[in-house]
Each structure stands twice: as structure tokens, then as C-alpha cells.
Amino acid sequence: MNDIHDELVRIVGAAYVSRAGEELYLYGRDQGVQPPGRPDYVVLPATTEEVRRIVLLAGENGVPVVPMGGGLVLSGLTVPLKGGIVLDMKRMNRILEVNELSHYCVVEAGTTQGALQAYLARRHPALKHSVPDAPPVATIAGNVAIHGSGHLSQSEGGFHSEMVTGLEVVLPTGEVCRLGSCSTVDKWFSRAPLPDLAGLFLGWNGTTGVITKVGMKLFPSFPLKDVLMFMTEDIDAVPEVISRIVSTEMGEDITFFVTPKPAYFDGFQMTNVHIVARTPREMKLRQALVRESVQPYLDRKEAGFLPLPAHMKVNLLAAPQKSLSEFADIRKGGGFEYVGSIMPVESIPGAYRAGLGIAARNGVTYSMGARVVGRGHAVMFYYAFPFNRADEAELQSVRHALEAANRAALDLGGIPWKTEVAGQRMILARMDPATVALMERLRALLDPNGIMNPGNWEVAP
Amino acid sequence: MTELRWNPDICAACETVDCLEKCQYVRYSPEQARGERDRLIRGEETAILTDCVTCYACEEYCPHHNHPFYLIVERQEELGIHPVPKPIEKSQVLMMGPKGRIVPEAVRTPVINLCYFPMMKGAIRGRLLGDASVIVGSDIFCNLMFLHFARNSTIRERLPQMIRNIMTHYLTPGGVDELVCYHDECYGTYTSWAPAFGIDVPFRPVHFFDFLNRRLEALAGQIKPLGLKAAYQRPCSNRLCPETDAWVDAIFEKIGVERTEREFDHGNALCCGGVMEAQQRFELAESNRERNIADMKASGATMAVFNCPFCFFTLAEKAAQAGLMPVMMSDLCHMALGD
Amino acid sequence: MPLNYADFNCPSYLQYRFESFTAGGRMWLIRAWQQGEIKAGERLAQILFTCVTCKNCVQTCAMPGIREQLVDIFMAAKGELVEQGLVPPSIRDYLKAMQTHGNPYKRPDAERARWAEGLDLPRYSGQAYLFYVGDEGAFDELGIGMARSVARLLGQAGVDFGILGEAETSDGNDVRAAGEEGLARALAETLTAKLNDLGVKKVVTLSPHAFNIMKTDYPAWGGAFAVEHWTQVVARRVRALAPAETALKVAFHDPCYLGRWQGEYEAPRALLRAVPGLTLLEMPRNRQNALCCGGGGGNFFTDILGHGGDQAARVRVREAAETGAAVLAVACPLCLKMLDDAVKAEGLDDRLAVRDLATLLLAMR
């Protein structure tokens, strides 16, 4: 083991390798309910070359490698299940290119959402990227590696993985590959028209290689912002409401939430429609079209837009939503995990009812909601359970609740997103065997030594 | 069960039907207006019950003080008409309901009732108001806002207990028999709605502007006239106590503010539009707001003065964008004293 | 792994880059230590003692109720390690010097008067203010220069003050930030007794560090005097200075102990705004978002964070240079030295000069 340590020191420098108990403790766990693991090393590479040498070293010695960005996935996907090296990618944080005409940027994998957002706001204020509702230290690569989504997912084409225009990856066998147009020309504008290899690394949770650079689509940033909050009291009306509003193509982020507290929200559903515009005239038109799309509900007084004073809107208009962090501590004890499931819009009422049942049976506090991804092509429906980390019984209840939520998602025709091992196995058990076989073949091909985040997406334990 | 005290014969005999003829939001011919009136008397469905924007103005227009607006609200509720979408209505009933968290407090005169506007506590300060005791909270909330939701029943249900709470926990132990109402709506509840529904009010309500006026008189030597032109936004609830509008002029005179002459003031005041938005009448709310602010601007005002926090929430941003500084009346008075 | 709104501006995180060196990392590790899941050792000591107490985490943490206590928790954790004898050598030496010599420079008390030589400043004997210069003002070369400038500036602004000279003793702020609450308190009680005996009613300090502990903590420990930082006292009298016109472009670095710790961001700026023609170029990270120079927590004396391109002070001077300013103005003697050294390390000395605000103003005559 000392050889490996010494070699790691030779690669990144002594300051950026640790096998101290403190780092092994910290990097062996996340804020969710998954049991902790324990890495053997935590390494902070600064360049693709360093990553390559580390991966080669690991492959030669059969040492697992677990790439990590912000470590905010909550379901333990950056917690080493079989020891090995945790690769904290956040030193690789340079923003390499912003192409203002072709609307893309190229960043190193460990660039944080916050850094990119601030950089664009200051240097390229006419452009923005889609940010997830996570603390700003979440990384660009980590987010696309798990098929994340965010505030532009409804209006600008879906999951963040769909907004990737190119990747640079280090394969488990040590090769460095560029995928997408950047493989052939010096620009990162598209994955098409080449055979799409980026898909081998998006949503694979770090099991097929280490992403070292990402090309991301950028979108126009408009100065005027507003949010409309539509209140219903019939969950079964919600899919139709969402469908109508989405079809106007006038909204940016469209989200939906239910919460038992405060009491005056209990039993109601809120659909938030964010609208951006260049001019007041455009804003008025967009607002009018959104309102008109649900006019029958307004006429029947079955639902309506809540008048929101300006100061209430300020919090709702922030991207990312900081209030999520406060909600995460509602039980006091700082534990928070949610099951996100990707579902068709029509599954929402069923998902909601299932969620009420799960919370009641397990005696846990809940919050539920969804974000529309693409023009209503899917929603990311979440069951969120905050818990007191110091209360083992509560932890257990939440574990059961999360497991039940995963199962409910699948039963309703949805798929658990960025899920922990138990959820992965549920999915694999239901998956078309030919698809499973293809996944396994690809893993074996790319990672013959089985070093990349092992324990994840494996059928046999 | 408290009944609305109105005389159907007065309405039946009314020649002018001012309540509907003067309404700023409907265009009924005299014949149509009479037809509406007759169906209202009989308790039948009729257009005004869904046309009404609930701006309270007809309470002022009626020369007989026969409560046409309260009657409209009664009829709406009887006939199951919901001016505001049901989920929003139900949520507001829950949100604004008494929480049972009343904190008894020793009070001394003057006692200012902030109703359920805790965010206005900061206004009760300085030489003008600093010595006042303040009562506020869901358990003393007048609930009059439910006139906008066709729910006289909610007010009937809650108001007697609110009055008891005010007396038991504050006024009686404090030996105080009058209550300064910060908001027109509260004052209107106790001077207009409660008598109209036969509910006894054991204290003497004092209009905030009456109180401000007296205070300013006492502090006359310390006032530095502001020399400003202000457009005044007369709130809906002032329609329940129109005689108090004159105090605005008295106050302005003392603090050196000119109440600009404009179309949408006094009897022709426009609703801020907040409730129209709640009723999902967005274009109407928008045009109302635009006309109102354009009028304020055209009158040469540099400030927009409010008494009602809800008007403030609804109009302040747009007023500011038009170059009018939005300010609550109490803050304007503080400014004149340099506080 | 820790939630980390606070990471981007944390000097120890910027330098070490392991999440253990963030506020969140420290919280998790302190909990693990207290629960017996990990044992305290050298690494934990390094992690805890490299907190420079800049309060960036207190400023940015998203958790109300927790954020206010973060730095207090870290200082308490340091204290626990001090008690267990688990202290990094540099910290140990620093604390030992404080204990033995009463100052980190190991100089005799008699030398505390040297900074004022030739300035003809009166000893305190009932003037309106006592001007307190502290350890850096007495013993650090750049600090001495700053103390002299501030004294002259106070004079020009018409402030009636006296000094303690060799009778000064250490204020204890940084000793406490390094975990030694007991020693800090002893130093504080010594100094307050001295000041109370002299009948001091108002203290004006050179360093924001002294300002901080004297303002917030000395009252509970017996202090019966009001305390201000020199920028606050001069800001009120800035018209008396009548500075001459200039075309200078200046960036201002908010000191943590004046800014985030005490909420004072405007007094130093008022001084700059009083100079006709001077352009104040705000750095992107200004006021509550200022990036600490890295001098707090005792690091100024212990150098526990070490050096390198990611050192906070070097990141900060790069940020200052990017604004196009010719001068980086400071209001604190620790910032002064940290940033001055950083400018040299970055090779920026031909285009960026670090100056304390007093020296800068005195030059505008």
C-alpha cells in the first residue's frame, strides 16, 4: 500500500494526497441515509494528465476509483463501496472557453455551478446555463454524470446531460478521449453528427470512466423575471394543468410542490411558472398566454393564480433555491435525502398518493414536488424526507420510506433517479435482460479491471 | 345568528339605484340596474353577483346607508358564488384564522390596533407614536377581508371572539376604552360592519388619521414641512367610513404636503387591484393599476401615499417604477418630524 | 460533502482543497471526534488550527441558528485541543511566547514605546481618547509605520488622545482566536484594569483585532470604556483633513475584524471618498464577501497555513490587481503585512502598492 501512496504523491504532490483518518472519515460518507464507506486515499488531481496516471495506477493494482464533484448526490454514489481512491475533482475548476455566438462553454469537470454562474453573470451577462437546485458547490460534471436537471430544463431541452455538447474523459484503461465535435475539430458545439459516445458516460454515475472536461450549452439570459403560482385543490387536475401551461411554451422553469406545513398549504397543490422576458411588453404577453391556457379552471373557480407580493417573489426567483437548504434542516439534525424519480406527467397524482401513504406508514415528515423536464416530456418527481441525523430510529424510518418511494416510482411507471444500490438493483431486476446484458458488456469492455465505482449498477452482489 | 340590518323597502323604493349606477366597474342601464336591484332583494342569481369586484364603494354611494355591498356579499354566499377561486379562498380562511396564541400584555392608552399586520410594527415609533401600546395578531384580527371572498359567515363566526379577546386580554385590564385602528378596514369593521350585523362593540374605535392629526397638532413646533406633492391612494375600506377622508387633508396641511388634484381620488378613488388579481381578473387589475398610477404621475406628484398595507404591496413597485416614491402615511408623518 | 455555500471564500479551503478544511468539514469532524468516531491527532489539529476565524462561513452558511455559532465552535474546539496538549508546533510556540513575553515577537515591554519616537505624542493623562496600537503597532516594522501614520492623522483630524507607550499590554484577540480563551481573558483583565485605573473613557485602536475584542468582550471582563476603530473616529472628522486632489485608483480590502465581525464597512470608504478625484475600485469580493488576507487565527504569527500560489493573500492581491487599481488600501496592520508580502510573492510590486489608509491620506496633502 505504501507503493501506491508514494506513487500518488509522485503524481499529484504530497499536499494533495491524504490517507489521514479525518479525510477517510469525511469522504466516506454523505448527508443521506446510506451507510458510510471508507476510502483508502483521497486524491485531488489538478490536470487530466494526473487523472490519467492515477487511473492507470489504480488499474494496475486493482484499486477502485470513485470520482467525486460536490458530493451532494445524497444517495451515496460518491461514497466508496469497496474502498479505493476518492478522486475529489474540484481542483480542476478552470473555465476554458465561452463561445458567445455558438452558445456553449467548455469547463473542467470540477468547475462548480456557482463559479460558472458567477463567471457568466460578470463576463457574459447575455448568457446563462441551467443550474440545479443544489448548493452552488455542486459541479458541472457531477451533475451531468447523474442526469441532473435544473431551472432551464423545461424550456431549453431537458436534462443537463442533454445539454452536453462534448466530453473529455479518461477511460478506466487510461486513454484520454474527446467525445463529440471536439474529437474532430477544435470546437465543442455538438455531439451530433458523430456516433454518440458521450452517452457512455452520462448517467453512468462514474462507473465507466472519469469525466475531465465538459462542453455545455448556454442559453440567452433575459433581464426580466417573474413567477406565477397556480393553486389547485385537486391533484388529479395537475397533469392537465401542467400540460396546458407547458404547451404555451411561454414558461421557463415549471415546478410543482405540495407540503403539509404550513397548515394553509395542506391539501392544496402549487404549480410555479417562472417567466423571463426581454421587455415589459413581452412579459405581459407571456403572462397572459400562461393564464389563458388555464382559463377554464379560472372560470369555474376551481383553481387560480395567487397574488404574490414582490418580497415573496424574491425568494422564489432565486436560482438555485437557497430555501431548499433550510428545508433540509426542518427536523433539526441536518439529515436530508430524497427519492427523485423520472416519470411521465400523468403519473403525478399516483405518485402523490403513494407518497402520502409512505409518509404515514413510516411516520416521517415529507415534502413532495416535481420539476418539468423538457416540454412536458417528463417530470422529476421527488419525495423528500428530512431527518434528525442523531436519531437512529428516524434514520431507519427514512430508509424504509426511501425504499418504498423507489418501489412506488417503478410501479407508477417512473424510474428512480441517481439512486443508491438498493434502488439500482430494483431497476435492474425489472429491466429488459438484453439491456442489462448490454450494460454489463459495455462495463466489461471499458473497465476490464472493474475499478470504476464498483458496487454500483451491478446485478449480482 | 346575526342578520344584516337592512331595509328592503328602502331599496325597492330607490329612484336612483346609485349603488349600481355609480359603480366604476359595471355599465348597467337604469333599467338593468333596477332589474339587478329587484333580484338582489329577492335573493335570486343576478349579474352583479359575479361582476362585482368587491371594492366596497357602493357602501359609500348609497345615500340611505342601506348596505348594498354587505347585501351583495350575503347573496353571493347564499347562492354559492365564489369571487375568488376556491383553493385560494380556503387557504386564506386557514391562513388568517385565529391561532390561539394570544399573549396578554399590559397596555396603556393610546392603544394602537395593528390587526394582523405584524410587519407594520416598525411604523409605531418615534415622537409621533413611540409611546403607544400595540396589539396585533391573528387572535384580534377583524377578518373583514372575507368580504372579498363572499364570506360574511366567517366574519360572523370570528368577530365576536376577536372583540372578546381584545377586551379580556388588553383593554379591560388596561382600563382603556378606546382603540386606535391603524387600518381603515378595522375601523370600518367596528363602525360599519358590526353595527350593520348587530354586533356590539364595547370600545370606542378611533380612526388612525384622527389620532395622527391630534398628535401632529401637539407636536406642531417640531414639524418641518416637507414641501412635497403626494398622490393619495384611498383604500377600499375607507368607503365604509368616508367621513374620515377629511383627516387626510388635515394631516397633509400640518406636514406641508399637497394632496394633488387627480381624477382617481376621493369619491372616484380606484381600487388598487389586488383583489381583482385574486379574482383572476388580470387585465382589469392591470388597467386599473396603470390608470391609477398614470393619474398619480400626471397630477405632478412625486410621492404615492398609502394607508393600507395591501394597497402598498400591490402598487408600491409600479409606483416606484413610475418615479413616485411609495410611502405609508405613518412614515410620511415620521419624515415630517425628522424621525 | 458538507453543503458549502461558504467554501468559495474560505482561506484554508482555498489552500488545502480537502473538504475537511471547510466550515462544514470541521463541523462533521468535530462531531465525529466528540462522538468518539475519530481520535484527535495531528491532522485534526492542523485542520482546526488553520481556521483563520474570518467569519466568511458565518456570513454565507445557509442554516440560520447554526451559522452564527460556527467560528465560536471552531475556537472552542481549538481550546479543547490546547487543553489536551494537541497543538501544532507553530501554535504552541506562539502561545508560549504570549505567555512568557506577553507578545508574539518576544520583545521586552520597554520596547513598546519605540514606535512613537520622534512624534512627540503625549502619554495618556485624561485626554478624550487613548490611542492603543497593540503588538503589531509596537513591534512589526510595517505595523510601526502604520501606527505612526495613524497617530499623525488623528492629530491632523483634531483628535485629542494620549498613548500608553511601554505600559501597553496585549489585547488577547488573536490568542483567543487560536484557542487560548484563558490566556486571552487574563490579558484582557490586565489591560482593562490598567485602563480603568487611568480613567480611560474612550479607546481608539490601530488594529481591528483589538477593536473587536475590546468592543465585544471587554465589557463583560471589566472594561468600562467605549471603543472605536481609528477609521471610525477619523471618518467623522474627515473634512478637517482637506486632502488634495489626486487621480489615484484605489481598491479597498475590508478587514474581517472590522467588517464581518463588527459590521463596519463604510468608515474606511468615507476616508477614501473624501479625497477629491480618487477612484475607489471595488473588488468583486467586497464588504461582507471580502476574501480574508489569511492573517487571523494567529496565522499572522504562526504561519500555520504556509505559503503558495493558493494562499489567500496572494489570491486577494491578484484580485486587486485585476481591478486596475494602483494601490490596495488596508485598515489593519495584519492585512498590511500579509498583502504586502503577497504582492512581492506574486511579482506585482511594479503595479500594485499596498498602503494603509492613514499613510495614503497623509500623502494627499
Tens digits of residue pLDDT in B84-118 = 999 999 999 999 999 998 888 899 999 999 998 88
Establish if A262 touches chain B: CB-CB under 8 angstroms: yes
Establish if A280 touches chain B: CB-CB under 8 angstroms: no
| Residues A90, C5: C-beta atoms closer than 8 Å | no
**Searching chain C, which residue's CA lies closest to the CA of residue A136?**
C5
pLDDT along chain A (461 residues), means of 10: 91 97 96 93 98 98 97 94 98 96 97 94 95 93 95 94 98 98 97 96 96 98 96 97 97 92 88 96 97 97 90 76 68 78 95 92 86 93 88 90 92 94 94 96 96 90 58
Domain covering B213-336, topology: Rossmann fold (3.40.50)
Q: Strand, coil or helix: what is C164? A: coil
pLDDT in tens, C7-24: 579 999 999 999 999 999
Establish if C64 touches chain A: CB-CB under 8 angstroms: yes
**Searching chain B, which residue's CA lies closest to the CA of residue A270?**
B87
Q: Based on the domain organization, do A113 and A210 belong to the same domain?
A: yes
**Searching chain A, which residue's CA lies closest to the CA of residue C21?**
A23
Query: For an interface test with A, which of C4, C14, C283 has the most A Cβ atoms less than 10 Å from its Cβ?
Result: C4
- Domain end: A169, A194, A220, which one? A220
Q: Based on the domain organization, do A102 and A213 belong to the same domain?
A: yes
Q: Based on the domain organization, do A82 and A120 belong to the same domain?
A: no
Query: For an interface test with B, which of A264, A302, A311, A317 has the most B Cβ atoms less than 10 Å from its Cβ?
Result: A264
pLDDT at position A364 is 81
**B223 pLDDT above the threshold of 70:** yes
Chain C nearest CA to A28, separation (Å): 9
Contacts of C253 (CB under 8 A, 6+ apart): C283, C290, C293, C316, C320, C328, C329, C330, C335, C339
The band of B13, judged by pLDDT with boundaries at 50, 70 and 90, is very high
Chain C nearest CA to A400, separation (Å): 23
The band of C2, judged by pLDDT with boundaries at 50, 70 and 90, is very low
Which of A284, A303, A310 has its CB closest to that of B85?
A303
Q: Based on the domain organization, do A108 and A207 belong to the same domain?
A: yes
- Domain end: A317, A349, A380, which one? A317
Establish if C37 touches chain A: CB-CB under 8 angstroms: yes
**B263 pLDDT above the threshold of 80:** yes
Give the per-residue SS3 of B81-139. Answer: CCCCCHHHHHHHHHHCCCCCCCCCCCCCCCEEECCCCHHHHHHCCHHHHCCCEEECCHH
pLDDT at position C63 is 85
User: Is the ipTM of this structure higher than 0.90?
Assistant: yes
Q: Based on the domain organization, do A182 and A80 belong to the same domain?
A: no
Neighboring chain A residues of C4 at a CB cutoff of 8 Å: 70, 135-137
Establish if C105 touches chain A: CB-CB under 8 angstroms: no
| Residues A307, B280: C-beta atoms closer than 8 Å | no
Order of strands, sheet of A104-108, starting from the edge strand that comes earlier in the sequence: A95-99, A104-108, A210-217, A164-170, A176-180
Q: Based on the domain organization, do A213 and A251 belong to the same domain?
A: no
Residue type, A28: G
CATH of the domain at A41: 3.30.43.10
Tell me the C-alpha distance between A161 and A147, whole Å: 5
* Contact (CB, 8 A) for C22 and C9: no
**B44 pLDDT above the threshold of 50:** yes
For chain B, the residues whose C-beta falls within 8 A of a C-beta of chain A are: 82, 84-88, 90-92, 94-95, 274, 277-278, 280, 282-283, 286, 313-314, 316-317
| Residues A27, C1: C-beta atoms closer than 8 Å | yes
Grid coordinates representing A284 are 405581459
Q: Based on the domain organization, do A99 and A204 belong to the same domain?
A: yes
pLDDT at position A1 is 58
Per the structure, the count of domains in chain A is 4
pLDDT in tens, C192-235: 999 999 999 999 999 999 999 999 999 999 999 999 999 999 99
Give the pairing of strands A415-417 and A334-343.
antiparallel
Chain centroid to CA A245: 24
pLDDT at position A295 is 97
pLDDT in tens, B125-172: 999 999 999 999 999 999 999 999 999 999 999 999 999 999 999 999
Which chains have 3 or more CB–CB distances shorter than 8 Å to chain B?
Answer: A
Q: Based on the domain organization, do A81 and A115 belong to the same domain?
A: no
Q: Based on the domain organization, do A124 and A205 belong to the same domain?
A: yes
Q: How many CB pairs under 8 A join A and C?
A: 78
Q: Based on the domain organization, do A106 and A210 belong to the same domain?
A: yes
A458 in any annotated domain = no
**C156 pLDDT above the threshold of 90:** yes
State if pTM tops 0.95. no
A259 in any annotated domain = yes
Establish if A273 touches chain B: CB-CB under 8 angstroms: no
Give the pairing of strands B303-306 and B325-328.
parallel
Tell me the C-alpha distance between A340 and A414, whole Å: 10
Tell me the C-alpha distance between C106 and C87, whole Å: 20
Domain range list for chain B? 8-78, 95-210, 213-336
**Searching chain A, which residue's CA lies closest to the CA of residue C46?**
A22
Neighboring chain B residues of A265 at a CB cutoff of 8 Å: 91
A390 in any annotated domain = yes
Chain A nearest CA to B101, separation (Å): 15
CATH of the domain at A240: 3.30.70.100
Q: Do B and A touch, counting CB pairs below 8 Å (3 needed)?
A: yes
Grid coordinates representing C224 are 468600562
CATH of the domain at A151: 3.30.465.10
Q: Based on the domain organization, do A216 and A229 belong to the same domain?
A: no
**Searching chain A, which residue's CA lies closest to the CA of residue C39?**
A21
A215 in any annotated domain = yes
pLDDT at position A326 is 67
| Architecture, CATH, for domain B95-210 | 3-Layer(aba) Sandwich (3.40)
Range of the domain at A18: 2-88
Grid coordinates representing B325 are 416614491
Fold match flag (B95-210 vs B213-336):
yes
Establish if C365 touches chain A: CB-CB under 8 angstroms: no
**A99-134 residues labelled b (16+ CB within 10 A) or e (exposed):** beeebbbbbbbbbbbbbbbebbeeebeebbbbbbbb
**C185 pLDDT above the threshold of 60:** yes
CATH of the domain at A330: 3.30.70.260
Neighboring chain A residues of B313 at a CB cutoff of 8 Å: 309-311
Establish if A70 touches chain C: CB-CB under 8 angstroms: yes
* Contact (CB, 8 A) for A364 and A401: yes
A456 in any annotated domain = no
A7 in any annotated domain = yes
Tell me the C-alpha distance between C172 and C163, whole Å: 18
- Domain end: A268, A283, A317, which one? A317
Chain A nearest CA to C170, separation (Å): 35
Grid coordinates representing B84 are 375568488
Q: What is the mean pLDDT of residues C289-299?
A: 95
Residue type, C58: V
* Contact (CB, 8 A) for A107 and A96: yes
**Searching chain A, which residue's CA lies closest to the CA of residue C308?**
A15
Contacts of A122 (CB under 8 A, 6+ apart): C284
Distances, alpha carbon A294 to alpha carbons A253, A268, B144, in Å: 17, 17, 30
pLDDT at position C3 is 38
A455 in any annotated domain = no
Q: What is the mean pLDDT of residues C243-271?
A: 97
Tell me which DSSP letter residue C123 carries: B
Tell me the C-alpha distance between A267 and B87, whole Å: 9
Across A326-330, B72-76, B225-229, C188-192, least confident range: A326-330
Chain C nearest CA to A392, separation (Å): 14
Per the prediction, chain C carries an average pLDDT of 94
pLDDT in tens, C28-85: 999 999 999 999 999 999 999 999 999 999 999 888 889 999 999 999 999 999 999 9
Q: Strand, coil or helix: what is A433? A: helix
